[in-house]
Amino acid sequence: MIKQNIEEEINNQIQEEFQSAYAYLAMSAWFEENNLGGFASWLKAQWQEEIEHGMKFYNHLIQRDAQPILQDIDKPKVQFDSPLEAFEFALEQEQHITKRINKMYNLAQEEDDYPLKNLLLWFIDEQVEEEEMVQDVIDKLKLVGEDGSGLYLLDREMGERQGQNGKEAEQSEDQK
């Protein structure tokens, strides 16, 4: 049986993951508004990934006969001064999630909750990847600065993330 404090922390994490997803979707809208569709597409893919993360925790509770309790999601930040500011915000969000995952792992260790520890090991690795991806975008944005042609090329590169997912989906459909 899952302990009450563990169940509460997992429910809090579900809210955090959905809050992150909502933030990425708002960021995507800002990029769309600023005619940077590649960035917007990248952020939509990130939005979907965060939803999947929240659902992993949701399903973990279901599998353990515990109650997922969905919580309020706050209005995300919707305006940014630059693409760099938006991605610096995204990095802060990912670092926040990393701290929460690490805190949950410590709690799972204290409570000898092996199923949760096992789930969190995947998230620990995932957060390293998430922070690295966002940092890479920040580094590239710093490199191109305010140069319009550099930003244009980076926007095209960012759009390839979604394009690759779309191609994979098309290939899967063709194989059916």
Whichever domain contains 108, its CATH number is 1.20.1260.10
- Total domain count, the chain: 1
Q: Do the Cβ atoms of 13 and 100 come closer than 8 Å?
A: yes
Q: Do the Cβ atoms of 30 and 86 come closer than 8 Å?
A: yes
Which residue stretches of the chain have pLDDT < 50?
A: 162-176
Residues 6+ apart with CB under 8 A from 97: 16, 17, 20, 127, 130
Q: Is 60 annotated as a binding residue?
A: no
Q: Is 94 annotated as a binding residue?
A: yes
Q: Is 127 annotated as a binding residue?
A: yes
Q: Which domain holds residue 167?
A: 4-175
Tell me what pLDDT residue 146 has: 82
pTM of the model: 0.88
* Helical axes 83-110 vs 114-144, angle rounded to 10°: 160
Q: Is 146 annotated as a binding residue?
A: no
